[in-house]
Structure 1
Amino acid sequence: MQVLVTGGAGFIGGHLAESFVHDGHDVTVVDNFDPYYEVAIKRTNVSEARETAAKTDGSYTLVEDDVRNESTVSRLVAEADVVYHQAAQAGVRASVEDPKKPNEVNVEGTLNVLEAARSSDVRRVVLASSSSVYGKNHYLPYDEAHPTTPVSPYGVSKLAAEQYARTYNDVYGLPTVALRYFTVYGPRMRPNMAITNFVTRCADGKPPVIYGDGQQTRDFTYIDDVVDANRTLMTSDAADGEILNIGSTDNISIERLARTICDAFDQPLNLEYDERYRGDAEHTHADIGKARALIGYEPSVTIDQGVRKFIDWYRSNRAWYRSLTKATA
């Protein structure tokens, strides 16, 4: 199958591309290598996928371009059977400083993909959305019917993108699925995340730094579970037109996460606290009942297991990864 992954050199997109190539699909990745975080990580994602392609019947093609480029998007989408739209301007905190860019990339870029798809024979567009669309919690865990009141420009842009996808299904009959990811983590993850902060500092014998009082909670989702959900949607039409939570059902406070990582390093608990960032949600927790019912989604990695897996990977790649994360540690 011909598969297009936009943002396919990024964290989630890179893992998706590698998985699809491993399964023998012909994968095209488009990515602009925006230096929002270290481009070396994105180049490594490309290398991993290429190495996998060399060992399988799949193929891997990289196009360095931007989803805001309509002509490139139209050409690549026309050649695809399934489109995984992962390209985005990430970052809640960055969006507070520059709210226009996430709108340009996340909304206008998504419209380019959807417009191209409705003019072609694409079987499905799977869109990466985010738990950031929920914002202020009225109840937990979040189900898909929970009010969407984002507290950051990033959250607003992801909400607009997923609603465009739903509308294109309703109005034009384009098969679309939007997946609301809940704090995805794992090997080669973005270095400016809480888990990488804590792991990097503990490995250096330094105390983790918590932004806020540490009582805010997150539903951390291991990358393998996210990949499994996306793989199912390559052939299943059970969720066409729908929006699904993709989380772990594992809710943990940031402070307990720091304690868990300190314990894994046999390091005495000595936490540091700093001012909380604007735009950060207070709590996230996924109700995955809808995804379970429609596509059989069942997360398999708990937060304790996932943290251990990430630490094992970090230890094997410490010299390289530490050089990239030291600025955020």
Structure 2
Amino acid sequence: MSLRLLEIILPVESTSSIDDLPRSDTVLGRWDDRLNDEQAIVRLLVKASNTEAMLDDLEGRFAHVSGFRVILIPVEATLPRPASDDDATASQAAKSPERISREEIYADVSEGARISRTFVAQVIIATVVAAVGLMRNDNAVIIAAMVIAPLLGPNMSLCLATTLGDTRLALESLKANATGLSIALVFSMVLGAVFVIDVDLPSIQSRTTVSWGDILLALASGCAGVLAFTSGAPSALIGVMVAVALLPPFAVCGLLIGSGDFVAARGALLLVATNVICVNLSGVLTFAAQGLRPRQWWEAERAKKALQLAVGIWLLLLAVLIVLIYQAAAE
């Protein structure tokens, strides 16, 4: 059972209002302490699946109260163990989303949209490692590049921004994506110009064409990335799935451009475009299927329109790419 501890700081006279919250019956434990004459801290132990609803209740009631703040802490274990659900609690839990809270997801995913020295270094290192693995036809080295997963964050944050209708996060995600892909392209082109690239190597040849299997892989990658984020899995575990659809084919594209093989590079670029579209399409749909919505109704309405527009655009682009894939295959 995944648990969370909510530490709520608020005026002393407001602590009794927590008893009246609509979901107070889902609290597994409560502890109150006085910080001073004016403020108190209330600690609530809740299930991770109930955290979002509890946070929404707290924000709706205390957002305008001076000194109000909520700190969310993951709980590894607690003794004694929480009692098993009774029928009423189990029925309530069935209505709750089987994921961590919106705030946790946003904090984790939005971090990946930041362009920092670490991000740039990860992109460079992952590109070099992937290029070496591709040139040596060494799958173990290619997987090592995927574990670094520098392109995971920007793509997942773009999916989240689209689902929530968050324009600021969407722009940051697009900027981080463009930066990461540009760096990867430049460094792989340099390596392609310096070293001799054997296009007939299976690791390179397989990434110069697009098949239905590649489309399914990219769709599964986006879905797996979102499901892992919403369940709170470590990013190192989920990066491999998304990276397999993004970094290696883009490194192949750069290597081939650097070596002067523009025909094969076009096929690799088509694969990259297909993967980016499929990862974002399935990621957005998975976030939506997980019930991720903004808290306020007017924000939810805006997010719904943004979601419909984004899905329409991704589907249109995917249809165009499928036509290009058939044309390339005919040639």
Largest Rg, 1 or 2: 2
Common fold by TM > 0.5: no
TM-score, normalised by the number of residues in structure 1: 0.28
TM-score, normalised by the number of residues in structure 2: 0.28
More helix as a share of residues: 2
More strand as a share of residues: 1
